[in-house]
Amino acid sequence: ETVVPLGRALATAAARRWQAAPLIDGRAEPGISRPVFDPADRRRAVGEAVWADPGAVARAAAVARAAAPGWEATPAAGRARCLETMADLLETHRAELMARCVRETGKTIPDSVAEIREAVDFCRYYAARARAEFAQPQVLPGPTGEHNEIELRGRGVFACISPWNFPLAIFCGQVAAALAAGNAVLAKPAEQATLTAARAVELFHAAGIPPAVLQLLPGDAQTGAALVARPEIDGVAFTGSVAAAQAIHRVLAAREGPILPLIAETGGINAMIADSSALPEQLVTDVLDSAFRSAGQRCSALRMLYLQQDFADPVLDLLAGAMDELVVGDPAWLETDIGPVIDADAQQQIEAHVAALRHCGHQVLGQGRLGAVTANGHFVAPVAVEVGGIQDLEREIFGPVLHVARFRVDELDRVVDSINAAGYGLTFGMHTRIDSRARRIADRVHAGNRYVNRNQIGAVVGVQPFGGEGLSGTGPKAGGPRYLHRFATERVLTINTAAVGGNASLLA
Ligand code: UN1
């Protein structure tokens, strides 16, 4: 296959050549095709998607059920090799994948580079975990005259339901984990990110994953509902909103038959605390990154910044000045800091939230620079708004909106209590030069990923395993050593080696 440069790949979007359709046993199913619009310019269709109806979901589920035992029986090293080939293909096809991330989901060029890197890392990391843990049983110590071993095996068929905000990284991460653990996969990408997922599935197949083992079901919540209701599935991996995770949980709970695992990675109302020993320039840099990178459309993003009151004014002055320099514009331009938000609905919700805070007299800082180019897209200027504290935020606002509150140092523990009381537990940031305080506060905060004196986004696969507690997710963490266990079942084999006649030959 020819490798296309980024410029040509971006131009392909204008020609509407990108397609997504239900891919069942390697065959694209026809159906009503819907145009997919560029969030940076809603007049521009960048491709077309056919959504999977309940019939397509049922056909794919039957194919997956039949294919699952063969994939489970494929040695872990063979499964791992396919994922390593996939990682190589992602790198070879970097430009065209980046173009899809940019034009389909409005990701900036740096964010699109990070997408590819994270997708590659997930494939390689889970391949390595499969080789380490799934290749052979682990012998357990026990009494003499007895042999005990434990092994990890695939569960069967996994439904992987992924979000639009990491159209390649999380899509590939879920799929790679399920495949590495020995499962057949029914992949349902978010309705706003089907074109990127469709290309990823083609590459998985080119890497050697059998078409019956990985099938694509583009669609919306109805497609997802049809999928989680299928009797053929043995588990669900979901990343997205808390409300959608709870809905899936209810559907699974109402089913007859075995109790199925749900791996849920959901949202957060993530906080950062900065005391007045923090370095203001470092703090402002990290706040800009954490709150506004990816237009704030990360579950890890900073939403609630607590500043010690005796240095809040100078920090807010610096922050407002820096925010005014952020360039909001076409994500394909290198100088753009903030691209569009995903769609009209997202834009409207964010704008309504900010308008409501303004209406209640909250002070709004910083505007960003909205260029003329933004008139036809779903662009939102970054803002920071002063509020009383995290208790004023009813839900996660998924956009470039930072909330700020001031605290006195004797209120520090109360601030931590209110962060914990919000019920989420994804990321947390602490900026201080008092080492003992950093550790003490980090210890008290219920959050899966805690960061000291740096930004609180961009967890690196295998280095910072990522995932939350409470309303933020079920764990164990993606990109961590135990993630594949959620996609697997454990089997123990016990042999009486002292039995009359001897069973030692069973151990051969
Ligand atoms: C998400 O936004 O859905 O650390 C999760 C980070 C990313 C977040 C991914 N791993 O910023």
Q: Is the CB of 304 under 6 A from ligand 1?
A: no
- Catalytic residue (one of 115, 265, 386, 396): 265
At residue 503, the pLDDT reads: 56
- Is the shortest distance between the CB of 194 and ligand 1 below 6 Å? no
CA of residue 331 relative to chain centroid, distance: 20
Contacts of 404 (CB under 8 A, 6+ apart): 304, 305, 306, 307, 312, 316, 365, 384, 385, 386, 387
Please state the atom number of ligand 1 nearest to the C-alpha of residue 479. 10
CA of 466 to the centre of ligand 1 (A): 8
Nearest alpha carbon to residue 160 among 229, 216, 232, 231: 216
Cβ neighbours for 508, distance < 8 A, ≥ 6 positions apart: none
Q: Note the pLDDT of residue 16.
A: 64
CA-based nearest residue to 182, from 261, 83, 62, 73 = 73
Q: Look at residue 502 in the predicted model and tell me its pLDDT.
A: 59
Interval between CA 501 and ligand 1 midpoint (Å): 57
How far is Cα 24 from Cα 28, in angstroms, rounded to an integer?
6
In the 8-state DSSP scheme, what is residue 33? E
Residues 394, 190, 176, CA angle at the centre, nearest 5°? 110
- Strand, coil or helix: what is 207? coil
Q: Which of 299, 335, 386, 394 is catalytic?
A: 299
368, 324 Cβ separation under 8 angstroms: yes
Please tell me the residue having the least CA distance from ligand 1 atom 3.
Answer: 299
Half-sphere exposure of 76 (CA within 13 A, CB side): 22
Residue of the CA atom closest to atom 7 of ligand 1: 458
Residue 410 is predicted with a pLDDT of 98
Bridge pairing between strands 401-407 and 302-308: parallel
Residue 436 Cα to ligand 1 midpoint, Å, equals: 28
Cα(327) to centroid(ligand 1), Å: 22
ipTM above 0.90, yes or no: yes
Amino acid identity of residue 76, one-letter, is A
Nearest atom of ligand 1 to the alpha carbon of 301: 11
The yes-or-no answer on residue 232 being catalytic is no
Residue 492 CB coordination number (10 Å): 10
The reply to whether ligand 1 has any atom less than 6 angstroms from the CB of 239 is: yes
Task: Verify whether ligand 1 is closer than 6 Å to residue 459 (CB atom).
Answer: yes
* 299 catalytically annotated: yes
Does residue 461 have its Cβ closer than 6 Å to ligand 1?
A: no
Ligand 1 within 6 A of CB of 166: yes
Which atom of ligand 1 is nearest the CA belonging to 427? 4
Of 462, 316, 296, the residue nearest 381 (C-alpha): 296
pLDDT tens per residue across span 260-274 = 999 999 999 999 999
Cα of 458 from ligand 1 centre, angstroms: 6
Question: CB–CB of 189/160 below 8 Å?
Answer: no
The preferred substitution site among 105, 289, 457, 483 for testing ligand 1, maximizing ligand atoms within 8 Å of CB, is 457
Residue 230 carries which DSSP code? -
Q: Are 119 and 169 in contact (CB under 8 A)?
A: yes
Q: State how far the Cα of 36 lies from the Cα of 288, in Å rounded to an integer.
A: 31
Q: Is the CB of 466 under 6 A from ligand 1?
A: yes
* Residue spans of the chain under pLDDT 70: 1-2, 13-16, 371-373, 501-508
Token readout for 263 is 């791996």
pLDDT confidence of residue 435: 97
Q: What is the DSSP string of 412-462?
A: HHHHHHHHHHT---SEEEEE-S-HHHHHHHHHHS--SEEEESS-S--PPTT
Ligand 1 centroid to residue 313 C-alpha, Å: 30
Distance 408 CA to ligand 1 centre (A): 31
Whether 164 lines ligand 1, by a CB cut-off of 6 Å, is no
- Alpha carbons 423 and 16: distance in angstroms, whole number: 43
Per-residue model confidence (pLDDT) at position 413: 98
| Two tokens, residue 160 | 């992987």
Count of Cβ atoms closer than 10 Å to residue 17 Cβ? 12
**Ligand 1 contact via 398 beta carbon (within 6 Å):** no
Best mutation site among 111, 115, 125, 166 for ligand 1 pocket (most ligand atoms within 8 Å of CB): 166
pTM for the model stands at 0.96
| 265 Cα–ligand 1 center, Å | 10
The total of other beta-carbon atoms located within 10 Å of residue 136's CB is 10
Q: CA 84 → CA 89, 131, 151, 153, distances in Å?
A: 9, 11, 23, 20
